[in-house]
């Protein structure tokens, strides 16, 4: 007997993706998870552009992660051109990154993940019974947008950040107002973590490496090495340790290490940098009873929720301590060079890699997003997970559990959400 599962449009994720699974005599024989986005050629678009255009262009890769691409691109160019930005510029970059993490996590957790656990097809269907939770999500997202607007100049595709610094600096009054809003809404972040810590998860374990940016001084974000529980290496050496490749059934790239999959994201950050989380974050984690290191990908949702508390605490600290002053962005001396930045964004490690000629023109660009890192691992997870749910018999229930697993990675294939059609074929 052969059983085929086709998830042609996986719902409640960022973008278009599909899954093809074939089961013969109750044994999995084929599993293909693919992006069905049209090719967008951003790396080609960046070629022959000036170094100061990279962040403006690459931020358009994704509206959800526009700050991430801005920070990664400017940081890579600064590494290439030997620019050491000021403490103030680095703190503002961190605020942009934290702001995007707050709004992205809130959107994913409440609007994409939570309906699965409460038995609803969408967040809209939840409004009548779970109005408090939906309002909380909107407040958190609004705060993240406000932070991006104050620091980045607008709440989507920021314009203040540039290579060598910032074109516009927030005032101390603006930072204090952000700190007050963060302090006011921090209880909402705590309640979010408590909510997701209380949800019943599948008992499923994903034995793989968990990679994240590691900084001995603070919870990994912009600076640091790439590390797992087995290895640590400088971010500019990523190509020596990770292989980027394509499959004929997907327009998205896959990444492996020694032909094996690995995972990035909030759970990887927790596994590698748990001791660097804020005290209030650790307190909520302890109360949840969830232990780390952890290798259950479903727990990534809880990690995102708890990580929001840390993002609040770190943001409040920066806003309270930073005394802003006007600084002109550093203008570099042009040279032929290469620069790499590997930073943490909501869904995991983002790499921007640029080669410039002596006129500051981009001759080569390589960008690897977290979903590319995770795609092979999502595929392997589904392959290992399906045999554990075949006993459910009910095709709809099996589909829901598969989708929950995929959504736990918070994949971002682009910026749109589509609906799922499933075709079952048993022979």
pLDDT tens column, 217-244? 999 999 899 999 999 999 999 999 998 8
Q: How far apart are the first and last CA of the chain?
A: 5
Give the model's confidence band at 36: pLDDT under 50 very low, under 70 low, under 90 confident, else very high. low
CA 266, distance to chain mean position in Å, is 8
Q: Are 315 and 183 in contact (CB under 8 A)?
A: no
**Which regions of 107-175 does DSSP assign to beta strands (E)?**
161-162, 165-166
Query: What are the tens digits of pLDDT across the range 64-117?
Result: 789 999 999 999 999 999 999 999 999 999 999 999 999 999 999 999 999 989
Question: Both 276 and 327 in a single domain?
Answer: yes
Q: Which token pair is 418?
A: 């589509």
Beta bridge partners of 3: 23, 426
Prior bond of 148 cis (ω within 30°): no
**Considering 359, 375, 391, which residue would you say is the last residue of a domain?**
375
Question: Both 391 and 334 in a single domain?
Answer: no
- Does the structure show a pLDDT above 80 at 420? no
More confident residue, 421 or 341: 341
Interval 369-392 mean pLDDT = 87
Q: Which domain holds residue 201?
A: 42-375
Q: Are 21 and 399 in contact (CB under 8 A)?
A: no
Question: Both 384 and 367 in a single domain?
Answer: no
Provide Rg for the chain, Cα atoms: 21
- H-helix or E-strand containing 265? none
Question: Both 133 and 96 in a single domain?
Answer: yes
- Count the domains in the chain: 2
pTM equals: 0.90
Question: Both 220 and 315 in a single domain?
Answer: yes
Question: Both 171 and 242 in a single domain?
Answer: yes
- H-helix or E-strand containing 38? none
Q: Which token pair is 231?
A: 């290895």
Question: Both 402 and 267 in a single domain?
Answer: no
Question: Both 188 and 267 in a single domain?
Answer: yes
In this prediction, residue 89 carries a pLDDT of 97
Give the model's confidence band at 423: pLDDT under 50 very low, under 70 low, under 90 confident, else very high. very low
- Does the structure show a pLDDT above 90 at 44? no
In this prediction, residue 386 carries a pLDDT of 85
Question: Both 223 and 331 in a single domain?
Answer: yes
CA 173, distance to chain mean position in Å, is 30
Vertex 409: Cα angle to 403 and 412 (nearest 5): 95
Candidates 170, 164, 173; CA nearest to 90 is 164
Give the model's confidence band at 156: pLDDT under 50 very low, under 70 low, under 90 confident, else very high. confident
**Domain CATH code at residue 320:** 1.10.645.10
Question: Both 188 and 204 in a single domain?
Answer: yes
In this prediction, residue 11 carries a pLDDT of 46
Residue in the block written with tokens 């909402």: 188
Beta bridge partners of 156: none
Question: Both 30 and 49 in a single domain?
Answer: no
- Does the structure show a pLDDT above 80 at 57? yes
Question: Both 193 and 323 in a single domain?
Answer: yes
Counting every residue, how long is the chain? Answer: 427
């Amino acid at each position: 007997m052969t059983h085929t599962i086709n998830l042609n449009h996986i719902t409640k994720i960022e973008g278009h993706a599909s899954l093809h699974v074939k089961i013969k005599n109750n044994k999995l024989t084929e599993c293909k998870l693919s992006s069905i986005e049209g090719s967008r050629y951003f790396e080609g678009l960046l070629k022959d552009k000036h170094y100061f255009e990279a962040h403006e262009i690459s931020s358009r890769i994704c509206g959800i992660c526009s700050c991430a691409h801005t920070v990664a691109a400017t940081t890579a160019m600064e590494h290439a051109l030997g620019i050491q930005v000021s403490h103030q510029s680095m703190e503002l970059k961190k605020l942009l990154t934290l702001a995007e993490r707050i709004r992205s996590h809130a959107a994913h957790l409440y609007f994409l993940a939570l309906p699965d656990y409460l038995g609803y097809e969408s967040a809209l269907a939840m409004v009548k019974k779970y109005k408090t939770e939906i309002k909380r999500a909107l407040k958190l997202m609004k705060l993240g947008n406000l932070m991006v607007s104050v620091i980045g100049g607008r709440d989507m595709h920021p314009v203040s950040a540039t290579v060598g610094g910032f074109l516009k600096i927030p005032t101390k009054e603006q930072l204090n107002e952000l700190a007050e809003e963060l302090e006011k809404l921090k209880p909402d972040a705590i309640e979010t973590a408590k909510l997701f810590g209380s949800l019943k998860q599948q008992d499923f374990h994903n034995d793989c490496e968990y990679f994240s940016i590691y900084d001995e001084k603070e919870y990994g974000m912009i600076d640091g090495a790439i590390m797992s529980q087995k290895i640590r290496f400088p971010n500019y050496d990523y190509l020596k340790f990770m292989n980027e490749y394509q499959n004929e059934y997907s327009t998205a790239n896959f990444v492996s290490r020694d032909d094996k999959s690995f995972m990035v994201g909030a759970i990887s950050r927790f596994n590698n940098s748990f001791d660097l989380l804020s005290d209030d974050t650790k307190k909520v984690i302890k109360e949840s009873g969830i232990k780390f290191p952890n290798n259950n990908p479903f727990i990534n949702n809880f990690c995102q929720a708890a990580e929001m508390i840390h993002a609040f605490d770190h943001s409040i600290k920066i806003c309270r301590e930073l005394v802003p002053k006007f600084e002109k962005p550093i203008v570099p001396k042009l040279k032929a060079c290469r620069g790499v930045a590997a930073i943490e964004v909501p869904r995991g490690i983002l790499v921007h890699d640029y080669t410039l000629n002596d006129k500051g023109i981009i001759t080569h660009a390589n960008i690897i997003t977290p979903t590319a890192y995770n795609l092979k691992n999502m595929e392997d997870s589904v392959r290992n997970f399906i045999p554990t749910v075949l006993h459910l018999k009910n095709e709809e229930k099996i589909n829901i559990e598969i989708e929950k697993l995929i959504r736990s990675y918070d994949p971002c294939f682009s910026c749109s959400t589509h609906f799922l059609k499933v075709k079952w074929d048993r022979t």
